[in-house]
Amino acid sequence: MALFSDEQLALGIQHGHAEDLDLLVERHYGPLLGFLFRLTGGDRSLAEDLAQEAFLHMLSKIDTYDYPRPLKPWLYAIAVNLTRDHYKQAEFRHTDSEAAYLDIPIASTPETEFLSGEETQRAAAAMNHIPLLQREVILLRYIHGLSLEEISQVLQVPAGTVKSRLSLGLKRLKERLKADR
Amino acid sequence: MKDKELLARLSEDTGLPEEAEDLAPVIRKLQAWKAPEPTVDETNRLTGTLRRLLMHRRKNNLAYRLHLGWLVLGSQPRVVQSELWAASAIVMGLGTLVTLAYAHSNAIDVTLPFVLIAPVAAAGGIAFLYGPTQDPALEIELTTPVSSRQVLLARLVLVFGFDLLFGLAGSAFLTLLRADISFWPLVTAWLAPMTFLASLAFLLMTLTLDSTVNQLICLGLWIIQNSTRLVRGIRWPFPLPDLTAAAARPWLWLLAVLFFGAALWLGGGEEHWLRNKA
């Protein structure tokens, strides 16, 4: 068990303790980078930019943090919103629809360095073809192990919406993998 | 995530155990998708950037500044020369005793010895507040994140507060023991001159950086100013304003604010002390 919880570290950061900031980064930078790497379809440099941006954003808003509100969902919420903003801006340059970015597949091919086998490569490629909203919930639920309630906090939607996105996303993922065979 | 846990999650999410069995291999493939780990250099770069941002925020954070101010205030009693506290207490105590023994009944508060002594005690303390000759650790202090202005202000608050406390205690003591003295008129009689003389000593400290010269100037000015009251029959070729008169008080307050402000402004720069020490 960690000596200090994330929430206690956040409180320390509010009081200006740099050591608490170091601990929090050490604890969450890797997993957050992993989440963003998969969310962006295996784009490492974009994931790094977004992860760093998420920490900077969290620090700039640390005064608004209310102890003992769970910190991890807040950090991931920031990361998800930054990712959405990135795709929104990218897509808005090409279409007139502001919501279109939520449904588009990711153009990039996952970096093969991190794909151990052909099956995994296919699964990663299939993930890139399902909409961002569903990709978020699948990754948070099955790769990063968040509960429905935590995902609901991250995405700021009801648990029912999380479940319906999960159901739809899994269905599409399965169909996509079948179609690729 | 173990197989059993994954199946339980999938069953909960889809509502169908058979569907969960079907989806589990798909999720397993996804879980095999490794992600890059940040290197030590990347982590250090990020923490470095965040630390700089935190430092910047700390400097601009009111609560942090108040906390820092409190820390500076708490650290200064050990640094200020111990003789200074004793000297102020002795002078104030003597002033109280002399006033108590002062035989003049129906005395007007402004002419009481305590009214003449309290300003001198405060100015004397503040004359020895800071500066190269009084502060052996000046160079070390100048390298800390706390500015000279903050240190100056902290010491001023402490020493002036100490004298103020003794002044109030002495006044309360006199009021209790002498029926012809009222507390509030006595306090108002010494408070404005004391603040004025202390502010003058504070300003002179930043200009002369010599505590002895500073104290002599303040003491001399106060003696000259009160000479007609202290020595019978003395006459000056020029008129002297009566700084203990009630009419002078608003001017004394105004001048005190100006002197304190000017001293903090002049004495705030580190280079000011270094240049003068050199």
User: Residues of A with CB below 8 A from B26's CB?
Assistant: 123, 170, 173-174, 177
CATH topology agreement for domains A1-99 and A103-181: no
Averaged pLDDT for residues A80-97: 72
Find, in chain A, the residue whose alpha carbon is nearest to that of B40.
A26
Q: Which of A15, A35, A117 sits opposite B32 (nearest CB)?
A: A117
Contact A29 B36 (CB under 8 A): no
Asked if B133 is an interface residue toward chain A (Cβ–Cβ < 8 A), one would say no
Phi-psi region of A13 (alpha: psi -120 to 50; beta: other; left: phi over 0): alpha
Residue B23, amino acid = L
Contact A21 B47 (CB under 8 A): yes
Contact between A110 and A85 (Cβ < 8 Å): no
Size of interface A-B (CB pairs under 8 A): 113
Task: Give the mutation candidate from A170, A173, A175, A181 for the B interface (greatest B CB count, under 10 A).
Answer: A170
Find, in chain B, the residue whose alpha carbon is nearest to that of A16.
B58
What is the pLDDT at residue A1? 46
What is the pLDDT at residue A158? 94
Contact B26 A22 (CB under 8 A): no
Contact between B10 and B24 (Cβ < 8 Å): yes
Query: Regarding the domain delimited by A103-181, which CATH topology (the fold level of the hierarchy) does it fall under?
Result: Arc Repressor Mutant, subunit A (1.10.10)
Taking only the tens of pLDDT, chain B with its 278 residues reads 778 888 888 888 888 888 888 888 888 888 888 888 999 999 999 999 899 888 887 766 676 667 667 777 777 776 666 778 888 889 889 988 988 887 665 555 456 888 888 898 888 888 877 665 555 545 545 555 566 777 788 888 888 999 999 999 999 999 998 888 889 988 998 999 999 999 999 998 888 777 788 888 888 888 888 877 776 667 777 777 788 888 889 999 999 999 999 988 887 654 555 545 44
Q: Is B171 exposed, middle or buried (0-12, 13-18, 19+ CB in 10 A)?
A: buried
What is the pLDDT at residue A181? 67
pLDDT, tens only, A22-43 = 999 999 999 999 999 999 988 8
Q: What is d(CA B85, CA B76) in angstroms, rounded to the nearest whole number?
A: 12
Contact between B140 and B75 (Cβ < 8 Å): no
Averaged pLDDT for residues A120-146: 89
Q: What is d(CA B260, CA B202) in angstroms, rounded to the nearest whole number?
A: 7
What is the pLDDT at residue B109? 46
Q: Say how many residues make up chain B.
A: 278
Asked if B44 is an interface residue toward chain A (Cβ–Cβ < 8 A), one would say no
A97 min Cα distance to partner chain B (Å): 31
For residue B118, give the nearest of B225, B199, B194 by alpha carbon: B194
For B191, phi then psi, to 5°, come to -65, -50
Contact between A81 and A101 (Cβ < 8 Å): no
Q: What is d(CA A87, CA B218) in angstroms, rounded to the nearest whole number?
A: 72
Find, in chain B, the residue whose alpha carbon is nearest to that of A170.
B23
Question: Which neighbouring-strand residues pair with A115?
Answer: B33
What is the pLDDT at residue B34? 85
pLDDT band at A2 (very low <50, low <70, confident <90, very high): low
Find, in chain B, the residue whose alpha carbon is nearest to that of A120.
B29
pLDDT band at A176 (very low <50, low <70, confident <90, very high): confident
What is the pLDDT at residue B116? 87
Question: Can you give the C-alpha Rg of chain A in angstroms?
Answer: 17
Asked if B38 is an interface residue toward chain A (Cβ–Cβ < 8 A), one would say yes
For residue B151, give the nearest of B127, B130, B126, B125 by alpha carbon: B130
Asked if B110 is an interface residue toward chain A (Cβ–Cβ < 8 A), one would say no
Asked if B57 is an interface residue toward chain A (Cβ–Cβ < 8 A), one would say yes
Q: Give the residue carrying structure tokens 């001198």.
A: B120
> Is residue A154 scored above 80 in pLDDT?
yes
Contact between B181 and B109 (Cβ < 8 Å): yes
> In CATH, what number does A1-99 get?
1.10.1740.10
B13 min Cα distance to partner chain A (Å): 6
B143 min Cα distance to partner chain A (Å): 21
Dihedral Cα B89, B94, B100, B104, nearest 10 deg: -130
Q: Where are the domains of chain A?
A: 1-99, 103-181
Global ipTM: 0.83
Q: Which of A114, A124, A141 sits opposite B9 (nearest CB)?
A: A141
pTM: 0.54
User: Residues of A with CB below 8 A from B55's CB?
Assistant: 18
